[in-house]
Amino acid sequence: MHLHNTLTGRKDVFTPLDPNRVTMYVCGPTVYSYAHIGNARPAVVFDVLSRVLRARYPRVDYVRNITDIDDKINAAAVKEGVDIRVITDRYAAAYHEDLAALGVARPDFEPRVTEHLPQILDMIGRLVDSGHAYAAEGHVLFHTRGFADYGQLSKRDEQSLMAGARVEVAPYKRHAGDFVLWKPSSEDQPGWDSPWGRGRPGWHIECSAMAEALLGETIDIHGGGHDLIFPHHENENAQSVCAHGGKAFARYWVHNGFLNVNSEKMSKSIGNVLLVRKLLEQAPGEAIRLVLLTAHYRQPLDWTDDVLAEASKKLDRLYGALRDLADVTATPNRPAPAAFVAALEDDLNTPQALAVLFELSRDANKATTPDARAAAKADLLAAGRLLGLLQGDPADWFAHGDAAEGLSPALEAMLAERVAARAARDWAASDRLRDALAAEGILVEDSKDGQRWRRA
Ligand code: AMP
Ligand code: ZN
């Protein structure tokens, strides 16, 4: 298996430290608002990676944290006049609902920062004791000049590291690039007692401490969106390596590219932020998931107005092949086809894997003998399982179509008109409407339960 490693800048052969226990840590959401479709991208990408790893190794410990201490959370709580817990519980629950709709399995561990204060304080203490961090004015700061490899992950030199630091340098910092491990809280801010006074942890130390607590000092894979490389991952790496006497922190750093909307960065000021829950009103979660897998995870992904309809059509084809195999039982214990697995094991090449999946559906349509049809069904289901697709009942997928989701009002009106025409036994009108709908790519069928439609 190969994975692109941000640390080495190339595709490396993946060999876990312990083949009996692969460890993976992915930075999870800061829970102060609903997840947008960009937030869903790393969740889906690393869900697929965990599936591929689980198929290959006997045990995978996958950690995705919930950041429930953060100044944006504090601001949201102040605005609503509630405890931060109200905010974080609400949006953590919403995150789980949204991801479940996209077929994302729960990670093995989902630590919350508020449940790891002792571990965070312990790690800060070790960094202070070893001279890698210093206390100043109620803060504890990481001494970046004391770590020779600082900048290695993000490939930044001294100058760009400084440019990345805050423009206005706090007076208590020894160097502009030093970052906060602990900061003081005012009376009205959430805070925890510490040897440096009442305060709260910085964002970076939270992940270092939770990764150590659940996975140990050196982990196999660390993931997240590429915006996290600097400063978040650079700083996590510095803290963990220094707290562990120079031992490597993560052996493979894996970063997904960004998702843009109509070629623009999603932003509140442009007003083009697409929330997962809004998209779920337009299309089934499986279609949204498929869109996210159409681009290679390292490439940017452009979300445009037609991606959901295209993904729905593709799923019509795949579920159509499965529906035609409804009368056979899939061959038991048949592994996913080698070409399909090879694509995913080649740095998670999902576009290639999807191309193989469509080939499998064409093969399935051509299969005639009972054995060949049973094998084709097994192949489709096993490949689909690795991508987190096609695990539903084909009838349910097509029932979604009946709900007319994603259809234009004009097409919906034509469907309704045809139902009315048939009720009035106006067969000529019914046929005319069927042809007109077919020209629009909507195929209608009449069953004993009434009119059904699917995309051509
Ligand atoms: P946050 O809650 O902002 O820390 O983000 C959670 C995860 O979503 C991180 O791994 C980010 O890198 C990732 N992320 C945020 N925006 C996007 C985007 N537009 N495209 C892809 N990933 C994103
Ligand atoms: Zn993190």
Domain containing residue 72: CATH number? 3.40.50.620
Q: Which two tokens stand for residue 332?
A: 């038991």
The Cα–Cα gap between 418 and 209 comes to 62
Residue labelled with tokens 């900048």: 151
DSSP 227: G
The Cα–Cα gap between 445 and 454 comes to 8
Domains held by the chain: number = 3
Query: Is 147 a pocket residue for ligand 1 (Cβ < 6 Å)?
Result: no
The answer to whether residues 99 and 121 belong to one domain is: yes
Query: Is 183 a pocket residue for ligand 1 (Cβ < 6 Å)?
Result: no
The answer to whether residues 271 and 354 belong to one domain is: yes
CA distances from 20 to 126, 369, 400 (A): 30, 40, 41
Q: Which atom of ligand 1 is nearest to the CA of 29?
A: 2
- Of 236, 256, 276, which residue sits at a domain end? 256
- Of 216, 236, 256, which residue sits at a domain end? 256
Closest C-alpha among 85, 311, 69, 88 to residue 185: 69
- Residue-number span of the structural domain to which 344 is assigned: 261-399
Query: Is 218 a pocket residue for ligand 1 (Cβ < 6 Å)?
Result: no
* Candidate from 36, 41, 204 with most ligand 1 atoms within 8 A of CB, to mutate: 41
The answer to whether residues 137 and 274 belong to one domain is: no
The answer to whether residues 233 and 305 belong to one domain is: no
Maximum separation of any 2 CA atoms in the chain, in Å: 87
**6-23 residue pLDDT tens:** 999 999 999 999 999 999
Taking the complete model, does pTM exceed 0.85, yes or no? yes
Residue labelled with tokens 């159509």: 320
Query: Is 259 a pocket residue for ligand 1 (Cβ < 6 Å)?
Result: yes
The answer to whether residues 319 and 336 belong to one domain is: yes
Measure 297 CA to ligand 1 centroid, in angstroms: 13
The answer to whether residues 123 and 247 belong to one domain is: yes
Q: Give the model's pLDDT for residue 33.
A: 97
Q: Which atom of ligand 1 is nearest to the CA of 30?
A: 2
Measure 431 CA to ligand 2 centroid, in angstroms: 59
Residue labelled with tokens 């999807």: 354
The answer to whether residues 78 and 140 belong to one domain is: yes
The answer to whether residues 270 and 391 belong to one domain is: yes
The answer to whether residues 246 and 265 belong to one domain is: no
Q: What rounded mean pLDDT belongs to the chain?
A: 94
Q: Which atom of ligand 1 is nearest to the CA of 31?
A: 2
Q: Give the model's pLDDT for residue 404.
A: 47
Residue nearest to atom 14 of ligand 1 (CA): 39
Nearest-ligand number for the alpha carbon of 210: 2
Q: Give the model's pLDDT for residue 452.
A: 81
The answer to whether residues 117 and 207 belong to one domain is: yes
The Cα–Cα gap between 246 and 226 comes to 25
Q: Give the model's pLDDT for residue 375.
A: 98
Query: Is 42 a pocket residue for ligand 1 (Cβ < 6 Å)?
Result: yes
Q: Which atom of ligand 1 is nearest to the CA of 259?
A: 20
- Of 399, 420, 445, which residue sits at a domain end? 399
Measure 195 CA to ligand 1 centroid, in angstroms: 33
Q: Walk along the chain (456 residues) and give the pLDDT tens digit of each residue.
A: 999 999 999 999 999 999 999 999 999 999 999 999 999 999 999 999 999 999 999 999 999 999 999 999 999 999 999 999 999 999 999 999 999 999 999 999 999 999 999 999 999 999 999 999 999 999 999 999 999 999 999 998 877 767 655 556 788 999 999 999 999 999 999 999 999 999 999 999 999 999 999 999 999 999 999 999 999 999 999 999 999 999 999 999 999 999 999 999 999 999 999 999 999 999 999 999 999 999 999 999 999 999 999 999 999 999 999 999 999 999 999 999 999 999 999 999 999 999 999 999 999 999 999 999 999 999 999 999 999 999 999 999 998 764 445 677 788 888 888 988 888 889 999 999 999 999 888 889 887 667 888 777
Q: For strand 301-303 and strand 264-265, is the pairing parallel, antiparallel, or unpaired? A: unpaired
The answer to whether residues 368 and 439 belong to one domain is: no
Q: What letters, b where the CB count within 10 A reaches 16 and e where it falls short, cover 396-415?
A: ebbebbeeeebbeeebeebb
Nearest-ligand number for the alpha carbon of 41: 1
Query: Is 258 a pocket residue for ligand 1 (Cβ < 6 Å)?
Result: yes
Domain containing residue 309: CATH number? 1.10.730.10
Q: Which atom of ligand 1 is nearest to the CA of 26?
A: 10
Nearest-ligand number for the alpha carbon of 91: 1
Answer for the pair 401, 453: CB distance below 8 angstroms, yes or no: yes
Residue nearest to atom 19 of ligand 1 (CA): 38
The answer to whether residues 279 and 244 belong to one domain is: no
At how many degrees (to 10) do helices 37-56 and 285-294 cross?
A: 80
Q: Which atom of ligand 1 is nearest to the CA of 224?
A: 10
Q: Give the model's pLDDT for residue 403.
A: 46
